[in-house]
Amino acid sequence: MSSAADRKSNADGSEDVVGAIVAELDERARRGEMPSCGVAYWHGLRAAWLRTTESEVAKLPDSFDDAGPLQLSRGRTTPVRDLSEGEMEELEDCLDAVQRPFPRLRRSTPLMQAVQCAEGLWDSDG
């Protein structure tokens, strides 16, 4: 989807692949090549987050109580690493944000931990 030339470098020198892909998706939506919301856009964002293809993230499990095909193919059902206190605060700030520009995360965050953090925030809200 995005060429290496389109990728931005973070302060630590690592490539901001997800940021570049999201920027490309936004540009495609502005040009009318894809919707700026909905399932196609969600699959693009999710594929960028998980660093896989849109067709892989589009495969649904038989039940949402079960692990999906992508999770099973990767053989991981637990978080890869623990988040530091600073990373957790950054993630919470990002999830709490309601207006653009949304705060950027300095590192990739395991999806399972992002979901658990979001659920914790929602539980404390109400």
The confidence band for 77, taking pLDDT boundaries of 50, 70 and 90, is low
pLDDT higher than threshold 50 for residue 100? yes
The C-alpha atoms of residue 98 and residue 103 are separated, in whole angstroms, by 10
DSSP class of residue 19 equals H
> If you average pLDDT over residues 68-94, what whole number do you get?
81
As a whole-number percent, the residues of the chain with pLDDT over 70 amount to: 82
Q: What is the pLDDT of residues 21-74, one digit of tens each?
A: 778 888 888 888 777 788 888 888 888 778 888 889 888 888 878 888 888 887
Q: What residues does 8 pair with on adjacent strands?
A: 16
